[in-house]
Structure 1
Amino acid sequence: MLSQVLHKNSSLIFPIYNIENTDRPISAITIMEDIRVEKWVRGGEVLLTNSETLPQSHEQLIALIDRLSRLNACCLIIKPKSGKYHAPSYLITHAKSIKFPIFSIAVETNYLQVMNDVNELLFYDRQTDHMIDLDLNYILKSHHISDTDFDFISSTKDIDLYKQTACVIQLRFSHPTQLPSRFKSLFRLFGQLRTTLISWEQHERILTYFLLETAKGATIVIFLATSSKKTAKHHKIDFHSLKSSIPTLSKAFHIGISDLHSAKELNQAYDEAQFSLKMSQILNREDSLTYYHEISLWKVINELHQHQEKDFYPKELDGLLQKKELRQTLLTYFSENESLVNTADKLYTHPNTIRYRLQTIQKQTGLDYKKTNDKFLLYIATALNLLDVQE
């Protein structure tokens, strides 16, 4: 997007240093009237400002550029008071070192000339994005897709996406806020997600991506130039960098990640990401990554739950699991890989207390937590009970 703006306005906008990569997303264009950057920046903005607005001291100017970069502003365009803008050498050196684009415009250039061009491109891109979202939503939710279903979205990337491997990521706010606060949170979220995804694309970790906005978060579809069906966790993508890119808004997130699938199985990847997200919410995994292959056993348990299958373990166990303390003890015990010490740490109690609770269950149900078969039944019963509680 930025490269398009620069190409169209090559006679108006001039870089203060030789910028190698201008393939940066633009979310908006605004006039920065003072240096309270948090007021103007949510992520992806082209900022227009007057040279007189900038701080005069070396330290303050560097700090300003650092803040703009940290908040993922697209770029800064400076209009001089008179003549041409002469950037200080220390500003050029620093901007180059952190790869933050800074440009100047001629003093006679009207801000509206640049703003109109950017807004025209933004409008065109948003219309295209809307059409992509409609096509991709159909593909994600359809069980029967063909290569022709990918024709339009493939044309926007100049890649035959039907031949690629894909992964779906579902991201949701744990506690969505009311409007207009939610709009502000989502706007910043999408800007920072795009920055991370573009970085993955530029470093060839992924072939391309699509970011679908939802009312409570985002759906991300990534395509990789590989036929390997690894799990997403073991691919070279650093999903933790996606998590760390989410802005700090005093909000928690749940993130579900599918395994890798061929594009023709994109619906399966979507279902896996949806289920991973659901389990992330049920298991209280806020601000962590939940991979489908880690919770795929829960898919079987969910099938049992839907068919009300509970005849394979003692009925007395259902009564015990109604007690929150015992249910939480078993759930934590299994999530901590049956470590009494770790379970006690998580529940802020003594290992002997955990042992006593497990023995209480054994005495009343006959299921011994140290025996493999009984342990499996305890796990299934705990999981089914947890699904009941969520309903």
Structure 2
Amino acid sequence: MASVKDILKIPKFRNSKVVAGHKGLDKNIRYVTVMEVPNIVKWLKGDDLLITSLYSIKDDIEKQCNLIRELSKSSCSCVAIKVGEYVDKIPEELKRIADECELPLIEIPYDLIYIDIIMSVMNLIFEERDSDSIAQKYIKDIIFDIYEDEKIMMEKGKLLGIDVNRDWFLAITLSFNEDEEIDENQVGSLKRVAKGISKYATNNNEFELNPYISTDKSVSIIFQSQSKDSIEKMLPYIEKECLIQVDKYLKNKKVFIGIGTIETNINGIKNSYFNSVKAIESGQIFKEENKIFYYKDMEMFCILNEVIGESRESLNNIVLKNVNDKELLNTLIKYYECNANLDETAAKLFVHKNTVKYRLQKIKEITGLDVKVHEDSFKLYLAVIANKMLLNSTKK
């Protein structure tokens, strides 16, 4: 059941503040009521969130204080008072009594519309257990096209505090190595990591819901902000937090991190998510020594992965079919991983530079292709890519 704490997480309440009754924040909320008459108490059902501007008793502090006492006795869970219209601020006497009764008082701004509050809270109460799960379902429906009317999805998003045409989004995916055996506890730990990262970003005032969705071996967090610049500035810190959380909960597991593109609107959410996934898929093939893959850096490899696709076996066989010596093949692969640097290749392989030269010469004799000739090197490099893709496909 939703609590006062859960209600306060709703984006519509982000400019509101609890001014008294902090000890009652764990109280449950089951109903939402708007106060328009002085004797509202008899209409309450219990576990209510009462919204009021105090209009009917705006000039009588004593009646306001009595109202708080009566609401507390009637099992009202929380009172949200709109300031700036009929009362400039919540009186200190009201705050004192609310503290005594442990009845939370929330100060809400003048421009917050009642219907927005009601719809947001009712969604929280009736649709899902808490605001996180509502947002998770909403984002998942967008990514996997589980909806029919885009306009309805946009309106539904606004009720959750997600304006897909105004806000900016970035997907970051964390995924286990495909060839590793993963148990339920480790999947649970990965979700815990996602929650920690999401909470870390939410603590920044310019970030909002940051829901996450999960699959069998991965979780993806969709970061949300009204400003693209805010996401760009915060990204290095989020990246660092990802590594901290992974090290804390999954220290002995290899977890890859894919960072999508910063985009807006419904299609932008989808693009960022799938780009973060593609970055990991291509990164495991072409940059397997890395942990973090930015789509912007991996885009060309992602395209190659898609373009070569089903032709990888043919391409590999055309060029490297007769290279049966694993030592020769590994040298060629390492040579391109080291950007065709002989010294670095030798160091990585723990051999002398002349040994690398000898092996590349042997490859030339077998394939007829010379790494020092631009066109030949291009063919060899494509074949190496195809070979990596073949090896990766056998792991799945």
Is TM more than 0.5 here? Answer: yes
Alignment of 1:295 with 2:303, yes or no, is: no
Alignment of 1:217 with 2:218, yes or no, is: yes
Higher helix share: 2
Aligned letter for 2:240? H
SS at match of 1:220: strand
Match of 1:329 in 2: 331
Shift in alpha-carbon separation, 1:370–1:164, aligned structure 2, 3 A: farther
SS at match of 1:203: coil
Match of 2:187 in 1: 186
Match of 1:138 in 2: 141
Alignment of 1:155 with 2:159, yes or no, is: yes
Q: Is the 8 A contact 1:253 1:286 kept in 2?
A: no
Q: Is the 8 A contact 2:260 2:279 kept in 1?
A: yes
SS at match of 2:372: coil
Q: Distance in 2 between matches of 1:307 and 1:288?
A: 26
Q: Is the 8 A contact 1:257 1:289 kept in 2?
A: yes
Q: Distance in 2 between matches of 1:361 and 1:203?
A: 55
Residues 220-229 or 375-384, more deviating: 220-229
TM-score norm. by structure 2 comes to 0.58
Shift of 1:379: 1.4
Shift in alpha-carbon separation, 1:345–1:147, aligned structure 2, 3 A: farther
Shift in alpha-carbon separation, 1:315–1:159, aligned structure 2, 3 A: closer
Shift in alpha-carbon separation, 1:274–1:266, aligned structure 2, 3 A: same
- Residues 74-93 of structure 1 correspond to what in structure 2 (within 5 A)? none
Give the counterpart of 1:377 among 371, 376, 379: 379
Q: Distance in 2 between matches of 1:354 and 1:9?
A: 73
User: Identical aligned pairs, as a percentage?
Assistant: 22
Q: Distance in 2 between matches of 1:205 and 1:368?
A: 54
Residues 210-219 or 379-388, more deviating: 210-219
Shift in alpha-carbon separation, 1:253–1:220, aligned structure 2, 3 A: same
SS at match of 1:162: coil
Match of 2:169 in 1: 166
Aligned letter for 2:272? A
Q: Is the 8 A contact 1:229 1:261 kept in 2?
A: no
Aligned letter for 1:269? S
SS at match of 2:200: helix
Residues 124-133 or 359-368, more deviating: 124-133
The count of aligned residue pairs is 279
Aligned letter for 1:223? Q
SS at match of 2:211: strand
Q: Distance in 2 between matches of 1:364 and 1:259?
A: 43
Structure 1: unaligned runs, 5 residues or longer: 15-120
- Residues 114-133 of structure 1 correspond to what in structure 2 (within 5 A)? 126=129, 128-133=131-136
Q: Distance in 2 between matches of 1:381 and 1:183?
A: 38
Match of 2:273 in 1: 270
Q: Distance in 1 between matches of 2:328 and 2:262?
A: 37
Q: Is the 8 A contact 1:280 1:290 kept in 2?
A: yes
Q: Is the 8 A contact 1:147 1:162 kept in 2?
A: no
SS at match of 1:294: helix
Q: Distance in 2 between matches of 1:324 and 1:122?
A: 61
Query: CA-atom RMSD, angstroms?
Result: 4.0
Alpha-carbon displacement from aligned partner over 1:143-201 (angstroms, at most 9, x marks no partner): 99835324334422x241332222222211226555xxx33333333334323332223
Alignment of 1:390 with 2:395, yes or no, is: no
Shift in alpha-carbon separation, 1:389–1:257, aligned structure 2, 3 A: same
TM-score norm. by structure 1 comes to 0.59
Q: Distance in 2 between matches of 1:364 and 1:375?
A: 14
Aligned letter for 1:140? I
Q: Is the 8 A contact 2:171 2:221 kept in 1?
A: yes
Residues 216-225 or 305-314, more deviating: 305-314
Q: Distance in 2 between matches of 1:283 and 1:350?
A: 25
Q: Is the 8 A contact 2:128 2:134 kept in 1?
A: no
Shift in alpha-carbon separation, 1:177–1:326, aligned structure 2, 3 A: same
Shift of 1:380: 1.1
Q: Distance in 2 between matches of 1:292 and 1:148?
A: 30
SS at match of 1:308: helix
Q: Distance in 1 between matches of 2:272 and 2:300?
A: 16
- Residues 279-358 of structure 1 correspond to what in structure 2 (within 5 A)? 279-283=282-286, 285=288, 288-308=291-311, 315-320=318-323, 323-358=325-360
Aligned letter for 1:239? E
SS at match of 1:370: coil
Shift in alpha-carbon separation, 1:382–1:270, aligned structure 2, 3 A: same
Aligned letter for 1:165? W
